Structure 1
Amino acid sequence: MNILFTCGGTAGHINPAVALARLFQERNPGCRILFVGADGGMETRLVPKEGYDIRTVTITNFQRSLTPAAVGHNLKTLFNMGRSKKQANAILNEFKPDLVVGTGGYASYPVVNAAAKRHIPTAVHESNAVPGLTTKALSKVVDVVMVGFEESRNHYEHPEKVVVTGTPVRGDFFRYTRKEAREKLGIADDRPLLLSFFGSLGAAVMNDLMVDVIAQECAQGAPFRHIHGGGRDFQRMQAALSRKGVSLKDTGVELREYIYDMPLIMAAADLVVCRAGASTISEISAIAKPSVLVPSPNVVADHQTKNAKVLSDRGAAVLLPEKECAGKPEVLLELLNGLMADSARREDMSRNLREMAVPDASEHIYQTLVGLMKKG
């Protein structure tokens, strides 16, 4: 059995494919896996670290602008489409897949489209609530479209092809109960735990805000525990807190550069404040973790706001636009204080998440794909 996964651009596209690749190999000893991504894409670094081979195609995006630079870029993209088509066919000729699965990213288009024309069983999975340009185009030619939420079905021209499967999440996220995670972290008191982190796109705005929020938390006597991942802004945040005369020692408030043990920290947390990328949405949905979602305003087609709205419309999360809290720490802190003191509301959010979630998304997707191959 040869399975080809094509994905790229963001972790939200790559992680589901890796989770599925592992499941196929666990269930089918001897199963061969190949990934295809875009030249220079994030996937060319992440996929080999997971132990899988990856090939690439030369593909770029279209820019929605009529500036000379954008027109030149789009002409290059048209040229690359022809080039990537030849590369995709060469990869299919060599690997001879029994199934081709696209999980998003521009590289998915030439590979999945070429496979569909050869009548190889094909499927796409969309982690975002609203399909991107690539998924929408491929939905017209593939055999099956798999989505994370029921609300996503209406965004496709052929809803009869759509199967609500949920989105695969790493097994580590299900390893600990809240009690077990808190014990492993050495948390001895009863204060609830807030986890906050933001992606690299526009993270500086939110990290600047979190400096003021953390300072005010400490001034209030740290009524709840708080772990914040500062990422590339870590040292700048440290310096800003120092200038404010804020010491985090023995407060239960932590500023970390990176949160390497995310499944453990998220299991221990009572509330998460974060962006609304596909991976993060999938993780908090899978473990029913209450959240305040602050979508990045810097992503294509405002996907993060659409992701967050699916949850907030069902009472499963709070949607807080960045423009409503940027530079206003009192706005975010008032919201956090209210939620951290209201366990009943947090439980309502968790219950609503559980009602939305698809139990065991990886298994559901696996069975859908196996059935597709049998049918093919």
Structure 2
Amino acid sequence: MRIIFTGGGSGGHIFPIIAIVREIKKIRPDFRFYYIGPKDESTVFLLSREGIKVKTILAGKIRRYGGPKAFSQNLIDILKIPIGFLQSFFYIFFLFPDLIFSKGGYGSLSVSILGWIFQVPIILHESDIAPGFTNKLISKFALEIFVSFPVKETTYFSPKKIISVGNPIRKEILAGDAQEAKKLFRLVEGKPTILILGGSQGAQRINDLILDILPQMLSNFQIIHQTGSKNFQEVEAEAKAMVKPPFEKYYHPFPFLNETELKHALKICDIVVSRAGSGSIFEVAACGKPSILIPLPEAAQNHQIKNAYLCQKLGACIVIEEENLTPGFFFEKLKYLLSKQDQLKEMSEKAKEFSQPRAAEIIAKYLVEYLIY
């Protein structure tokens, strides 16, 4: 059996695919897996390592924000769309898949439409409360639609197609070890640990926020900071210039946390500061960690803001929108939360209740049963 996975290319699409493939392999190691999507070096590396054959296509992303620069990028991307359709046509024709599983995003549009034309069964997973344009379109001809959030919060899709399972997470993320974390990150005893995540690509504005108050933060906490690869050197240089001994030993920046680093960081940290992509929310929640979510305001359909506020409504996090985010306010909020151990414990319990860590396993079993029976 051959399954084609497709998605937009960000970590929010790729890591759930990896989680599902790992679970399918436990049941049917003979299945063959392919991924068709936009070219991205980290995507190719991560998926290839899992035995997923990657086929790259051109894909156009239509930006609904920004000025002249975004407009010019949109013009270029529009020209990519027909080429991507042609590439997808040949891949699907020659691979002849038994099933297409779409995570949505601009990179999945051509694959999903052509799969429908070729009468290949299509199953969709929507990570966010507010679906983007591609998933809204694909939902019309998808057989089933798995969603991350409760059905009552998912208003766009046909209720007959929806199955609420949570967001697929890698089970390995749950296997962190506090002692390993202390050695790996050279952490000290008795000092609260903050994990800063900006999503798979990093977050410049979160980086700037942390740098603005880094000396004050290191006087109170130790920090593990995923900066994003493109921002790492700049952040590291600024941090070295402003932080003096002995406080520099409390700051641990990384361009990107691999799976091993992330699972240990999630185990040892007291609180997580993150964007509000569904992937980050569910991985953090599954580890039972309270969080401060800073939604990306430009995210399509305001999905990060909607994700974050539902998570807060369920008691698992605190939301601070960027328009209200000042260094002083953020620092005081962080200090206040870490002084309230009862509140942190309650947030941790609510996060675990919300997380649905078996999503990848449930989806994998469903796909196998659909294909075999």
TM-score bracket, normalised by the shorter chain, equals 0.7 to 0.9
Give the structure 2 partner of residue 206 of structure 1: 206
1:174 partnered with 2:171: no
Q: Deviations over 1:182-229 (max 9, x none)?
A: 5765655233321113248783332222123221234xxx33333233
Query: SS where residue 154 of structure 2 aligns?
Result: helix
Counterpart of 2:369 in structure 1 is: 371
After superposition, the CA RMSD in angstroms is 3.2
Distance 2:79 2:332 in 1: 52
- Give yes or no for contact 2:194–2:221 (8 Å, CA) kept in 1: yes
- Does 2:123 correspond to 1:126? no
Deviations 1:86-111 (A, max 9, x none): 44343222222121101122232222
Paired with 2:223 and 2:90, the residues of 1 have a C-alpha distance of: 51
Aligned counterpart, 1:143: 143
The one-letter code of the counterpart of 2:213 is: V
1:55 partner letter:
K
SS at match of 1:104: coil
Residues 60, 80 of structure 1: 8 Å contact kept: yes
- Give the equivalent residue in structure 2 for 1:155: 155
Aligned match of 1:15: 15
SS for the counterpart of 1:368 is helix
Structure 1 residue 334: Cα displacement: 0.7
CA contact (8 A) 2:20 2:168 kept: yes
Higher mean C-alpha displacement, 93-102 vs 55-64: 55-64
**Contact 1:18/1:47, CA 8 A, preserved across alignment:** yes
Deviates more, 1:263-272 or 1:25-34: 25-34
C-alpha contact 1:286 1:357 (8 A) present in aligned 2: yes
The one of 340, 343, 360 equivalent to 1:342 is 340
Aligned to 2:145, the other structure's residue is in SS state: strand
Once residues 330 and 70 of structure 2 are traced to their aligned partners in structure 1, the CA distance between those partners, rounded to angstroms, is 38
Distance in 2 (alpha carbons) for counterparts of 1:195 and 1:366: 30
User: For 1:133-152, what per-residue CA distance to the aligned partner results, in whole angstroms no more than 9, with x for missing partners?
Assistant: 11111111010101111157
Residues 342 and 364 of structure 1, relative CA distance in 2, 3 Å threshold: same
Q: Which residue of 1 aligns with 2:106?
A: 106
Verify: 1:268 aligned to 2:272, yes or no.
no
> CA shift at 1:295, angstroms?
1.6
Picking from 220, 223, 227, the partner of 1:223 is: 220
1:253 pairs with 2:250: yes
Give aligned pairs, total: 369
| Alignment gaps of 5+ in structure 1 | none
Contact 2:185 2:252 in 1 (8 A): no
Taking the aligned partners of 1:172 and 1:191, their CA distance within structure 2 comes to 26
Pairwise CA distance, 1:284: 0.7
Q: How does 1:24-103 map to 2 (within 5 A)?
A: 24-39=24-39, 43-44=43-44, 46-64=46-64, 81-103=81-103
Q: Which segment drifts farther, 114-123 or 127-136? A: 114-123
Gap regions ≥5 residues in structure 2: none
The one-letter amino acid paired with 1:225 is Q
TM-score (norm 2): 0.86
Verify the 8 A CA contact 2:11 2:200 in the aligned structure 1. no
Provide the C-alpha distance between the structure 2 equivalents of 1:41 and 1:164, rounded to a whole number of angstroms. Answer: 32
Residue 302 of structure 1, CA deviation: 2.8
Q: Secondary structure at the match of 1:107?
A: helix
Partner of 1:290: 290
Deviates more, 1:172-181 or 1:190-199: 172-181
